Structure 1
Amino acid sequence: MDVKSAFLNCFINEEVYVEQPPDFEDPKFPNHVFKLTKALYGLKQAPRAWYERISNFLVEKGKVDTTLFIKSNGKDILVVQIYVDDIIFGSTNELLCQDFSKLIQGEFEMSMMGELSFFLGLKIKQIKDGIFIYQAKYIKDMLKKFDLEHVKPQATPMSSSIKLDKDERGKCVDSKRYHSIVGSLLYLTSSRPDIMFSVCLCARFQASPRESHLIAVKRIFRYLRDTLCLGLWYPRYSSFNQFLGSMLVSWFSKKQNSVALSTTESEYTSLGSCCAQVLWMQKQLLDYGVRVDIIPLRCDNTSAICLTKNPIQHSRTKHIEIRHHLIRDHVLKKDVVLEYVDTLNQLGDIFIKPLDKEHFWTFRRELSLTSHS
């Protein structure tokens, strides 16, 4: 649903005065100003005041996490997501949806948009067996925008032998165009984790892009042209984890801002970041009535796994910042359990390095990326 004139529904606490609009001056008091009791479009306080109004209304009906509201009714739940003046809601019981629709339309003037099928560039295909999310139209628009509709397709977004660097001696390219391309690709990673590493690597060189960087970016588009309809498939029945059953629900790829003295330390630091993320997800799942006691984390470095089980500080570990020892504390508490996975089956490699076609396609399939056909 869409809220009509959303910002006009909110109240403001500050004293704000506005001049009388041209041609609408009060003939008796032409030099007076108006004191606002409600927000207007263009007012800096308007977005915050609108969120406060809608959140105060909804929080009386359920739990809240920033813009996500949840209401439980026995075994059924109602989930409401707010994006400025757009509201997405769904439930395990259709009657809860109907009740919510009546409730909120009684408070605000609304336009009912029907079943969710397209939102913020994401195409949502709902069928009996599950939900498929992809961005085929968005990719087509990008290819057209950057005049790359007729490029030759590629099997992977980046060559496994490529090594991108600053290339200071390389030929400079239009930085504005490069920024626009990278920005468009970054948004695409919301449904295409298979290009996450390639896009993030190219994004590092936005300060001074060179021809070699532009060639790498175009390679990503050549891959996308051949995989327009790939997207994330979420079957109806599945268990929960960082993977929701076999489906990826959280992914992250970022160059570390700390210097590690060994691969063990690097892996240990990454495990700490991953642990923090899954613990946050564990708490979020409680709002949905799902309790996960022991979370499995997979690592391909046996030394890093041993480090999490050893509470004794020694010369090789004493320089590691305390915040990275989060993983050790939670292993001891048995909140998480570390499992060894060999390098050939380390799914996380798709987020940290360019892979050959065989491994890339295997990992892509395991991420539950498939074609909507």
Structure 2
Amino acid sequence: MDVKSAFLNGFLQEKVFVEQPKGFVDAHHPNHVYRLKKALYGLKQAPRAWYECLTQFLVDNYYTRGSVDKTLFIKKNNDELFIAQIYVDDIVFVSTNNTKVQQFVDVMSQEFKMSLVGNCDDWKSTSDSCFFLGNNLVSWFCKKQNSISLSTAEAEYIAVGSGCTQLLWMKQMLVDYGFNQGTLTLFCDNMSAINISKNPVQHSRTKHIDIRHHFIRELAENKCIVLEHVGTNDQLADQLANLFTKPLDATRFHALSRSIGICLVE
């Protein structure tokens, strides 16, 4: 389940004051500040306030919080067992009784305006890549992988291969237009995936990977592409999803907008 405006549900336990937002400054009291009664996105206290609000609701409804994992909630009734795992504003849950599952969905939907995203019927990772010609973003894709990855490095390695197919197609298109390209640079934020791509030896941890994903090694060996590491915060393929779906602060929003060539026209 996913919570709509999760961080707006929490109540603050301490006094928090914020400046008047730009464009909404009171002309009669320009130096006044606001005191927040409820949490807002961007506040350091917001995740904790939301978690405390959710915890209190679950405890009041006879759910027991885990002694080791404080984000795990369990409810037992005779031979029936219900388990819910909380991760910020996402909840994964399972029960031995389907009726209990539907009851949980109904109660949480009414209390927190939650929506049921779907059943966890597979554990496949998602590949996402973006492609630049100079400073211009010309292509971007995000799709689910066909196989289940056993580690983050394996998922990133498969994603690198998916990105290479699009990259090679773009290179050939540019050749047809009369623009010959040399070695292409592919950025990845996982060093293990980069090391696997550069290592021609088939060791035990990569033997199970489908052979079609290993063509990236030949491309790297022939200098068709060069793999370079990039920090997670600078990995635009992942950050694009945040730009279009997350309520980012102004600084981060404008930085990501500039990085993909979007500018404000006045």
Q: With structure 2 as the length reference, what TM-score do the two structures score?
A: 0.52
Q: Contact (CA 8 Å) 1:3, 1:86: kept in 2 or not?
A: yes
Q: Which residue of the partner structure matches residue 191 of structure 2?
A: 181
Shift of 1:117: 2.9
Change (3 A) 1:140 1:106: closer
Q: Which residue of the partner structure matches residue 325 of structure 1?
A: none
Shift of 1:121: 3.4
User: 1: CA distance between counterparts of 2:71 and 2:32?
Assistant: 39
Shift of 1:8: 0.5
Change (3 A) 1:213 1:2: closer
User: 2: CA distance between counterparts of 1:212 and 1:101?
Assistant: 42
Taking the TM superposition and a 5 Å limit, the aligned residue runs for 1:1-373 are 1-60=1-60, 61-65=62-66, 66-118=70-122, 121=125, 134-135=148-149, 139=154, 141-145=156-160, 180-182=190-192, 215=199, 219=203, 222-226=206-210
User: 2: CA distance between counterparts of 1:47 and 1:2?
Assistant: 15
Identity of aligned pairs, percent?
A: 40
User: 2: CA distance between counterparts of 1:226 and 1:76?
Assistant: 40
Q: Which has more radius of gyration?
A: 1
- 3-state SS in 2 of match to 1:135: coil
Shift of 1:20: 0.9
User: 1: CA distance between counterparts of 2:111 and 2:15?
Assistant: 25
Shift of 1:215: 3.0
Give the letter for the 1:64 counterpart.
Answer: R
CA offset digits 1:294-327 (Å, max 9, x no partner):
xxxxxxxxxxxxxxxxxxxxxxxxxxxxxxxxxx
User: 1: CA distance between counterparts of 2:204 and 2:155?
Assistant: 13
Shift of 1:84: 0.9
User: 2: CA distance between counterparts of 1:40 and 1:62?
Assistant: 27
Give the letter for the 1:102 counterpart.
Answer: D
Shift of 1:93: 0.9
User: 2: CA distance between counterparts of 1:54 and 1:212?
Assistant: 42
CA offset digits 1:170-226 (Å, max 9, x no partner):
xxxxxx96x7233x69xxxxxxxxxxxxxxxxxxxxxxxxx9996389746752433
CA RMSD of aligned residues (A): 3.8
Give the letter for the 1:37 counterpart.
Answer: K
User: 2: CA distance between counterparts of 1:86 and 1:99?
Assistant: 17
Change (3 A) 1:13 1:76: same
Q: Contact (CA 8 Å) 1:68, 1:81: kept in 2 or not?
A: yes
Change (3 A) 1:85 1:212: closer
- 3-state SS in 2 of match to 1:43: coil
User: 2: CA distance between counterparts of 1:220 and 1:7?
Assistant: 44
Shift of 1:53: 1.2
Change (3 A) 1:118 1:5: farther
Tell me, which stretches of 5 or more residues in structure 2 are unaligned? 127-146, 166-186, 213-266
Shift of 1:95: 1.2
Q: Contact (CA 8 Å) 2:85, 2:92: kept in 1 or not?
A: yes
Shift of 1:106: 2.0
Q: Contact (CA 8 Å) 1:69, 1:81: kept in 2 or not?
A: yes
Q: Contact (CA 8 Å) 1:143, 1:221: kept in 2 or not?
A: no
- 3-state SS in 2 of match to 1:30: coil
Shift of 1:41: 0.8
Give the letter for the 2:157 counterpart.
Answer: M
Change (3 A) 1:30 1:134: same
User: 1: CA distance between counterparts of 2:118 and 2:76?
Assistant: 23
Q: Contact (CA 8 Å) 2:8, 2:40: kept in 1 or not?
A: yes
Give the letter for the 1:58 counterpart.
Answer: L
Change (3 A) 1:63 1:25: same
Q: Contact (CA 8 Å) 1:121, 1:137: kept in 2 or not?
A: no
Q: Contact (CA 8 Å) 1:6, 1:85: kept in 2 or not?
A: yes
User: 2: CA distance between counterparts of 1:97 and 1:53?
Assistant: 21
Give the letter for the 2:16 counterpart.
Answer: V
User: 2: CA distance between counterparts of 1:6 and 1:63?
Assistant: 21
- 3-state SS in 1 of match to 2:92: strand
Q: With structure 1 as the length reference, what TM-score do the two structures score?
A: 0.38
Tell me, which stretches of 5 or more residues in structure 1 are unaligned? 123-132, 151-175, 186-210, 229-373
